[in-house]
C-alpha cells in the first residue's frame, strides 16, 4: 500500500499552534535540528513542525487534526532510541513528550505508580528506591531515556534476567488513538484476563498504534544487599558457556552481562576508565546477585565461583565497595556510548536462546572477517541478548555503504537460524525493518498490517516503522 501524506500548510500550522500554544510550537530549521535524529547512527530526518503538548487532550486534538489532514505524526520520547523509531522519516509533525514529566502517584499500599511517559527512567527509579521499592527496568540509557519510550520499544536492561521484562511491570496505559479518542488499555491490576490485552499490544508497538500519555506500573520491594563480580575468560565461548551453567546450578543472578575484550578495550582507550586487563583476557562476565540476606548472597557467590572455575574462568574480581561496583558498571554502561562517539557504527540487538550465544558470537566474527568490518560484542548474556556494534574500521566508504547491509543480513540470518530474532529490546524502528522478512512470513506482515489498520487506518502514526504500509 502506498500512502500519500500532506504537508503542514499555514492553515494547519495555525490550528496546531492554537492547540499547544505558541511557546510549544517549533518550526524554524535550527530548532528542528534536535528533533531530526535520535541515537541511531548518524541518521537525520527533519520534521516540518515539532510540538510539546502537556495534556492528553492536547495530544488528542493534535491527532484528530493530523488524521483529518493526513499529516504524518512521529511521537518522540527522549530520543535515545537505537532503531530510528523517533526519526520523522516522512516529515510532518513530531509530538515531543518531554512535558509529560510528572510522577503522578506512588501508591505504597498497592505497590503501583502512575507516571507520565516523559519521566526519566532513573529519576523514577530513584524516587521509588527512596521508599524501599524497586522498578527494575533500567536500560543503559536510564539517566536520560523516558519510561514512555521504554514501554513503546519493549526496553529491557540488565535486570530482566531476574526480575522479568517490562511486560511484567506495565499494568495499564492511557493512550490517545489516532482518532483522538483517549482510552485506558486495561486495569490497574496484577492479573488480567478480560479480553484481548491491549496493554501488552501497546508495549513494543513503537508508537505506531497510539500515543501513551499515562502508565501504571508495578513496583516490588527492593533488595537490600548485592554483590558484584567480574569474571575473566580466555575465550568468548567459555564465557558464554558459563552463563548457562550458572542457571543450571540453581542461581538466578540479578544481572549476567557479557563483554568481549574489545568492548572493554574500547572503554579503556576512549574513555580513560582505569582497568587492569590481562593479555590473555578474551571476555568478561559481569555478574550481580542481589537479595535481602548477606549470607545468602555470599553463598550464591560461592556457588557461582565454583561454576566459573569449572568453565575456564581465569580470574574473579569481587567489587569490595560501592565505588568499585560503580566503576565496574561504568565500564559496561559506557561501551555503547564509547563506540558511538568514536567511530561510524551500526548497532544490532540480536537475541537468541542463551545457550546459542557462543555460536552467535563466533559467527558474527566470521562474517565480519569476510566483509572486513570489526564488531564489538557485549550485552545481556543471561537473556541471550547480544548487542553487536559494528564499527567501520578499515572498511572502505564504498563497502560500508553498499556491502555492509549483506553482512548484517548474514548476522540476522544466523540469529534466526539459532532460534532467535532481530531485536530483544531496541525495537525494529526504521533501520531494521528491511531485515524483518528474514524471520517473519508474509502472514506475519499481513497480521501486523491488519492490526495497524484497526488502530490507525490512515497510517498517520509513526509511518514507515517496523514494516511498510
Q: Which of residues 321-350 bind a copy of itself (CB under 8 A)?
A: 349
Q: Are 77 and 97 in contact (CB under 8 A)?
A: yes
As measured in angstroms, the least distance from the Cβ of 174 to a copy of itself is: 13
Distance from C-alpha of 466 to C-alpha of 444, rounded to nearest angstrom: 12
Q: Are 228 and 288 in contact (CB under 8 A)?
A: yes
What backbone torsions phi and psi does residue 221 show, to the nearest 5 degrees? -60, 135
Asked if 46 touches a copy of itself (CB under 8 A), the answer is no
User: Interaction with a copy of itself in 356-385: which residues (CB under 8 A)?
Assistant: 356, 380, 383-385
Secondary structure (3-state) at 288: strand
As measured in angstroms, the least distance from the Cβ of 442 to a copy of itself is: 10
Asked if 195 touches a copy of itself (CB under 8 A), the answer is yes
Asked if 236 touches a copy of itself (CB under 8 A), the answer is no
Task: Give the DSSP letter of residue 196.
Answer: S
String of DSSP letters for 72-102: -EEEESSS--SSSTT--TT-SEEEE-TT---
What is the contact mask toward a copy of itself in residues 385 to 424, using x (rule: CB under 8 A)?
x------------------------------x--xxxxxx
Asked if 197 touches a copy of itself (CB under 8 A), the answer is yes
Distance from C-alpha of 226 to C-alpha of 345, rounded to nearest angstrom: 35
Joined together, the cell numbers standing for residue 87 give 526519526
As measured in angstroms, the least distance from the Cβ of 195 to a copy of itself is: 5
As measured in angstroms, the least distance from the Cβ of 210 to a copy of itself is: 10
> Any idea which residue has 496546531 for its cell?
16
Joined together, the cell numbers standing for residue 330 give 561504568
Instruction: Give the alpha-carbon dihedral of 380, 382, 386, 389, to 10 degrees.
Output: 30
Asked if 272 touches a copy of itself (CB under 8 A), the answer is no
Strand partners, 375: 390
In the complex with a copy of itself, which residue's Cβ is closer, 21 or 419?
419
In the complex with a copy of itself, which residue's Cβ is closer, 188 or 343?
188
Asked if 450 touches a copy of itself (CB under 8 A), the answer is yes
As measured in angstroms, the least distance from the Cβ of 192 to a copy of itself is: 6
What is the contact mask toward a copy of itself in residues 146 to 165, using x (rule: CB under 8 A)?
-------xxxx---xx--xx
Asked if 305 touches a copy of itself (CB under 8 A), the answer is no
In the complex with a copy of itself, which residue's Cβ is closer, 261 or 387?
387
CB under 8 Å to 425, separation ≥6 — which residues? 139, 153, 154, 155, 156, 157, 160, 349, 351, 380, 385
In the complex with a copy of itself, which residue's Cβ is closer, 28 or 443?
443
In the complex with a copy of itself, which residue's Cβ is closer, 143 or 291?
291
Asked if 308 touches a copy of itself (CB under 8 A), the answer is no
Distance from C-alpha of 56 to C-alpha of 1, rounded to nearest angstrom: 30
User: Interaction with a copy of itself in 104-133: which residues (CB under 8 A)?
Assistant: 107-112, 132
Secondary structure (3-state) at 259: strand
Asked if 168 touches a copy of itself (CB under 8 A), the answer is yes
In the complex with a copy of itself, which residue's Cβ is closer, 29 or 191?
191
Amino acid at each position: 500500500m502506498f500512502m500519500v501524506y500532506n504537508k503542514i500548510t499555514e492553515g494547519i500550522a495555525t490550528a496546531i499552534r492554537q492547540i499547544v500554544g505558541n511557546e510549544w510550537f517549533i518550526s524554524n530549521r535550527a530548532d528542528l535540528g534536535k528533533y531530526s535524529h535520535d541515537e541511531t547512527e548518524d541518521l537525520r530526518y527533519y520534521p516540518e513542525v515539532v510540538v510539546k503538548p502537556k495534556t492528553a487532550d492536547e495530544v488528542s486534538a493534535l491527532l484528530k487534526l493530523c488524521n483529518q489532514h493526513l499529516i504524518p505524526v512521529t511521537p518522540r520520547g527522549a530520543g535515545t532510541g537505537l532503531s530510528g523509531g523517533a526519526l520523522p522519516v516522512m516529515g510532518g509533525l513530531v509530538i515531543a513528550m518531554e512535558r509529560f514529566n510528572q510522577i503522578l502517584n506512588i501508591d505504597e499500599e498497592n505497590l503501583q505508580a502512575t507516571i507520565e511517559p516523559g519521566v526519566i527512567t532513573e529519576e523514577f527509579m530513584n524516587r521509588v528506591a527512596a521508599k524501599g521499592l524497586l522498578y527494575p527496568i533500567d536500560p543503559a540509557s536510564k539517566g536520560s531515556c523516558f519510561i514512555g519510550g521504554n514501554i513503546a520499544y519493549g526496553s529491557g536492561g540488565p535486570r530482566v534476567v531476574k526480575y522479568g521484562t517490562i511486560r511484567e511491570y506495565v499494568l495499564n496505559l492511557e493512550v490517545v488513538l489516532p482518532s483522538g479518542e483517549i482510552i485506558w488499555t486495561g486495569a490497574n491490576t496484577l492479573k488480567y484476563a478480560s479480553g484481548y490485552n491491549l496493554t501488552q499490544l501497546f508495549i513494543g508497538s513503537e508508537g505506531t498504534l497510539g500515543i501513551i500519555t499515562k502508565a501504571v506500573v508495578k513496583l516490588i520491594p527492593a533488595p537490600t544487599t548485592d554483590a558484584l563480580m567480574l569474571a575473566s575468560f580466555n575465550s568468548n565461548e567459555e564465557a558464554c558457556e558459563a552463563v548457562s551453567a550458572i542457571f543450571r546450578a540453581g542461581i538466578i543472578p540479578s544481572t549476567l552481562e557479557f563483554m568481549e575484550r574489545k568492548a572493554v578495550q574500547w572503554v579503556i582507550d576512549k574513555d580513560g576508565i582505569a582497568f587492569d586487563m590481562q593479555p590473555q583476557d578474551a571476555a568478561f562476565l559481569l555478574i550481580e546477585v542481589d537479595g535481602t540476606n548477606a549470607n545468602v548472597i555470599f553463598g550464591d557467590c560461592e556457588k557461582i565461583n565454583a561454576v566459573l572455575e569449572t568453565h575456564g574462568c581465569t580470574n574473579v574480581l569481587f567489587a569490595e565497595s560501592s565505588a568499585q561496583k560503580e566503576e565496574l558498571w561504568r565500564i559496561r554502561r559506557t561501551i555503547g556510548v564509547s563506540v558511538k562517539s568514536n567511530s561510524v557504527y551500526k548497532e544490532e540487538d540480536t537475541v537468541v536462546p542463551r545457550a546459542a550465544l557462543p555460536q552467535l558470537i563466533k559467527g558474527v566474527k566470521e562474517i565480519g572477517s569476510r566483509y572486513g568490518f570489526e564488531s564489538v560484542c557485549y550485552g545481556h548474556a543471561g537473556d541471550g541478548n547480544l548487542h553487536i556494534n559494528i564499527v567501520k574500521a578499515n572498511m572502505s566508504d564504498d563497502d560500508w555503504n553498499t556491502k555492509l547491509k549483506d553482512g548484517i543480513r548474514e548476522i540476522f540470518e544466523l540469529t534466526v537460524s539459532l532460534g532467535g530474532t532481530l531485536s530483544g529490546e531496541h525495537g525494529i524502528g526504521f533501520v531494521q525493518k528491511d531485515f524483518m522478512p528474514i524471520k517473519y512470513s508474509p502472514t506475519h506482515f499481513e497480521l501486523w498490517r491488519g492490526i495497524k489498520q484497526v488502530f490507525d487506518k490512515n497510517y498517520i502514526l509513526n509511518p514507515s516503522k517496523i514494516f511498510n504500509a
